[in-house]
Amino acid sequence: MRTLAAAVQRTPPMLGPRAVRLALSLGLTLLLTGMVFQLAGANPFEAFEALIRGSLGNPLGIEQTIELMTLLTLAGLAVAIPARASLWNIGGEGQIFAGALAAVAVALKVGGIPPALVAVMALVAGIAAGAALGAVAGALRAGPGANEVLTTLMLNFVAILATYYAIGHLFAAAGIRGSTPVISRDAMLPDVPGQTFTSGIALALLAALGAWVLLTRTRLGLKIRATGFSPDAARHNGVRVGGVQVTVMALGGALAGLAGAVVVIGIEGLLARDFSPGYGFIGIAVALLARAHPLWIVPAAGLFSVVTVGGSYLEAVVGLSASVALVIEGVLLLLLLAFWVFPPERGVSGGR
Amino acid sequence: MPIDAETEEGRASIGAGVAVAMSGIRKSFDGVVAVEDVDFEARPGEIHALLGENGAGKTTLMSVLAGMLKPDAGEIRLDGDPVTLGSPRDALRHGIGMVPQHPALVPNLSVADNLILGRESSWRPRLRRAALDRWASELRARYGAEVDLRAPAGALAIDEVQQVEILRLLGKDVRSLILDEPTAVLAQAHAARLFAALKRLRDEGCAIVIVTHKLKEVMELADRATVLRRGRLVRSFERSEFDEDALAGAVVGSELKAFVRSEGRAGEARAAARPGLDGRSTANAVLVADGLVVRGASGARAVDGLSLEVRAGEILGIAGVEGNGQAELVEALAGVREIDAGALEIDGCELGSVDPRQLDRLGVGVVSGDRLRWDVVPELSISENLLLSELVDPRSCFGSWGFLSWRRIRDEVAKRMSEFDVRAAEAEQAVGKLSGGNQQRVVLARELSRRPRLVIAAYPTRGLDVAAVRFVHQTLSELRDQGTAVLLVSADRDELFALSDRVGVLYRGRMAYESATATVDQRELGRAMVGLGAGCSHGERPQVEEATTA
Amino acid sequence: MLEVLVASAVLLMTPLLLAALGEIVVERAGVLNIGIEGVMLLGAFCAAGAIQLDRGRGEGAVAALLVGALIGLVLAYLFIARRVNQIVGGVLFNLLALGLTTLLFVSSFDNSVTSRIYGEVAIPGLSALPFVGEALFSQPALVYASIGVVLLVNYMLLRTWFGLHLRAAGERPRALDTAGVSVSGVRTAAMAVGCALVGLGGGSIVLLESGAFTPNITEGRGFIALGIALVARWRPWWAVPAVALFGIAEAIHFQAGSLGLGGVPPELLAMLPYVVAIVAVTVGTAARYPAALGVPYARE
Q: What are phi and psi of C42, to 5 degrees?
A: -70, -35
Q: What are phi and psi of C108, to 5 degrees?
A: -120, -5
Tell me the pLDDT tens digit for each residue of B504-522: 888 888 888 888 888 877 7
pLDDT of A87 over the 50 cut: yes
* pLDDT given for residue A191 in this prediction: 76
Contact A41 C107 (CB under 8 A): yes
Length of chain A: 352
Residue B53's nearest CA partner among B183, B228, B224 is B228
* pLDDT given for residue C158 in this prediction: 92
Contact B104 C175 (CB under 8 A): yes
For chain C, residues with pLDDT lower than 50 are 286-287
Give Cα separations from A334 to B74, C87, C89 (angstroms): 38, 12, 7
Residue B336's nearest CA partner among B314, B359, B309 is B359
Buried b (16+ CB within 10 A) or exposed e, B440-460: bbbbbbbbbbeebbbbbbbbb
Q: Considering CB atoms only, which of C84, C185, C267 is closest to A161?
A: C267
* pLDDT given for residue B155 in this prediction: 82
Report the share of chain B in percent with pLDDT over 90: 7
* List of chain C residues whose C-beta atoms are within 8 Å of the C-beta of residue A150: 226-227, 230, 277-278, 281
Tell me the pLDDT tens digit for each residue of A101-160: 999 999 888 877 888 899 999 999 999 999 999 999 999 999 888 888 889 999 999 999
Mean pLDDT of chain A: 85
* List of chain A residues whose C-beta atoms are within 8 Å of the C-beta of residue B402: 218-220
Chain C, nearest residue to B27 by Cα: C300
B253, B254, B260, B264: CA torsion to nearest 10: 130
Interface of B with C (CB under 8 A): 29, 66, 68-69, 87-89, 92-93, 97-98, 100, 104-109, 113-114, 116-118, 120-127, 168, 172
Sign of the Cα torsion A263, A266, A267, A273 reads positive
> A233 and chain B: CB distance < 8 Å anywhere?
yes
pLDDT band with cut points at 50, 70 and 90 for residue B147: confident
* pLDDT given for residue A97 in this prediction: 96
| Alpha carbon distance C41, C90 (integer Å) | 13
* List of chain A residues whose C-beta atoms are within 8 Å of the C-beta of residue C271: 157-158, 161-162
Least Cα separation, residue C162 to chain A (angstroms): 13
Interface with chain A: mutation pick from C73, C100, C166, C299, highest number of A CBs within 10 Å: C100
| Alpha carbon distance A317, A342 (integer Å) | 35
Q: Quick check: helix, strand or coil at residue C276?
A: helix
* pLDDT given for residue B533 in this prediction: 62
Length of chain C: 300
Q: Quick check: helix, strand or coil at residue B182?
A: coil
Chain A, nearest residue to B330 by Cα: A236
* pTM for this model (two decimals): 0.83
* pLDDT given for residue C196 in this prediction: 97
Mean pLDDT of chain B: 79
Range in A265-269, A336-340, B66-70, C79-83 the model is least confident about: A336-340
Chain B, nearest residue to C169 by Cα: B106
Report the share of chain B in percent with pLDDT over 70: 85
| Alpha carbon distance A167, B209 (integer Å) | 72
| Alpha carbon distance B364, B359 (integer Å) | 5
Q: Are A155 and C278 in contact (CB under 8 A)?
A: yes
Residue B294's nearest CA partner among B266, B332, B260, B326 is B332
Contact A7 C277 (CB under 8 A): no
* pLDDT given for residue A77 in this prediction: 96
Sign of the Cα torsion B175, B178, B183, B186 reads negative
DSSP state, residue B151: S
* List of chain A residues whose C-beta atoms are within 8 Å of the C-beta of residue C270: 161
What subunits make at least 3 CB pairs under 8 angstroms with C?
A: A, B
Least Cα separation, residue A239 to chain B (angstroms): 6
Chain centroid to CA B522: how far? 23
* List of chain B residues whose C-beta atoms are within 8 Å of the C-beta of residue A1: 123
* pLDDT given for residue B221 in this prediction: 87
Contact C178 B98 (CB under 8 A): yes
Q: Are B94 and B177 in contact (CB under 8 A)?
A: no
Q: Are B286 and B418 in contact (CB under 8 A)?
A: no
Strand partners, B38: B25
Residue C206's nearest CA partner among C79, C105, C85, C283 is C105
Contact A234 B377 (CB under 8 A): yes
pLDDT band with cut points at 50, 70 and 90 for residue B548: very low
Q: Quick check: helix, strand or coil at residue B326?
A: helix
Range in B444-453, B471-480, B527-536, C161-170 the model is least confident about: B527-536
* pLDDT given for residue B328 in this prediction: 86
Range in B55-69, B291-305, C65-79 the model is least confident about: B291-305
Contacts of residue C3, Cβ cutoff 8 Å, sequence gap at least 6: C131, C132, C134, C135
What subunits make at least 3 CB pairs under 8 angstroms with A?
A: B, C
Query: What HEC string does B234-251 produce?
Result: EEEEEHHHCCHHHHHHHH
> A232 and chain B: CB distance < 8 Å anywhere?
yes
pLDDT band with cut points at 50, 70 and 90 for residue B545: very low
Contact A146 C282 (CB under 8 A): yes
* List of chain B residues whose C-beta atoms are within 8 Å of the C-beta of residue C165: 117-118, 122
Half-sphere exposure of residue C33, counting CA atoms within 13 Å on the CB side? 46
Range in A281-295, B306-320, B342-356, C71-85 the model is least confident about: B342-356
Q: What are phi and psi of B242, to 5 degrees?
A: -115, 145
Q: Are A140 and C274 in contact (CB under 8 A)?
A: no
Tell me which H or E stretch contains B454: strand B454-458
Order the strands of the B46-51 sheet from edge to edge. B96-99, B176-180, B207-212, B46-51, B224-229, B232-238
Residue C208's nearest CA partner among C4, C14, C78 is C14
Range in A92-106, A228-242, B112-126, B250-264 the model is least confident about: B250-264
Residue A88's nearest CA partner among A156, A22, A25, A144 is A156
Chain A, nearest residue to B337 by Cα: A236
Interface of C with B (CB under 8 A): 159-168, 171-172, 174-182, 185-186, 189, 291, 299-300
Q: Which one is predicted more confidently, B80 or C79?
A: C79
Chain B, nearest residue to C177 by Cα: B88
Half-sphere exposure of residue A249, counting CA atoms within 13 Å on the CB side? 29
Contact C171 B106 (CB under 8 A): yes
* List of chain A residues whose C-beta atoms are within 8 Å of the C-beta of residue B413: none
Residue A140's nearest CA partner among B15, C281, B176 is C281
* pLDDT given for residue B1 in this prediction: 37
pLDDT band with cut points at 50, 70 and 90 for residue B544: very low
Tell me the pLDDT tens digit for each residue of A301-349: 999 999 888 888 887 777 777 888 888 889 988 888 887 766 544 433 3
pLDDT band with cut points at 50, 70 and 90 for residue A221: very high
Give Cα separations from B268 to B181, B273, B531 (angstroms): 33, 9, 27
| Alpha carbon distance A324, A32 (integer Å) | 12
Please compute the mean of the pLDDT values over residues B481-495 and round it to a whole number. Answer: 85
pLDDT of B21 over the 50 cut: yes
Contacts of residue B514, Cβ cutoff 8 Å, sequence gap at least 6: B502, B503, B504, B505, B535
Tell me which H or E stretch contains B82: strand B81-83
* List of chain B residues whose C-beta atoms are within 8 Å of the C-beta of residue C179: 88, 92, 117-118, 168, 172
What is the CB neighbour count within 10 angstroms for residue C136?
17
* pLDDT given for residue C82 in this prediction: 83
Please compute the mean of the pLDDT values over residues B118-133 and round it to a whole number. Answer: 84
pLDDT of B300 over the 80 cut: no
* pLDDT given for residue B85 in this prediction: 87
Tell me the pLDDT tens digit for each residue of C181-231: 999 999 999 999 999 999 999 999 988 877 788 888 888 889 889 888 888
Straight-line distance from the first to the last Cα atom of chain C, in angstroms, rounded to the nearest whole number: 61
Report the share of chain C in percent with pLDDT over 90: 37
Q: Considering CB atoms only, which of A155, A165, A333 is closest to C92?
A: A333
Give Cα separations from C30 to A119, B33, C172, C188, C227 (angstroms): 48, 32, 9, 11, 16
| Alpha carbon distance C291, A155 (integer Å) | 24
Residue by residue, DSSP assigns B6-51 as GGGGGG-SPPP---EEEEEEEEEETTEEEEEEEEEEE-TTEEEEEE
pLDDT of A249 over the 80 cut: yes
* List of chain A residues whose C-beta atoms are within 8 Å of the C-beta of residue B360: 237-238
| Alpha carbon distance C110, C89 (integer Å) | 32
Please compute the mean of the pLDDT values over residues B342-347 and round it to a whole number. Answer: 84
* List of chain B residues whose C-beta atoms are within 8 Å of the C-beta of residue C168: 106, 109, 117
SS3 percent helix, strand, coil of chain A, rounded to 5, is 70, 0, 25
Contact B336 A235 (CB under 8 A): yes
Sign of the Cα torsion A155, A157, A158, A163 reads positive
pLDDT of B373 over the 70 cut: yes
Chain B, nearest residue to A214 by Cα: B403
Please compute the mean of the pLDDT values over residues B83-102 and round it to a whole number. Answer: 88
Q: Considering CB atoms only, which of C161, C171, C185 is closest to B107?
A: C171
What is the CB neighbour count within 10 angstroms for residue A111?
10
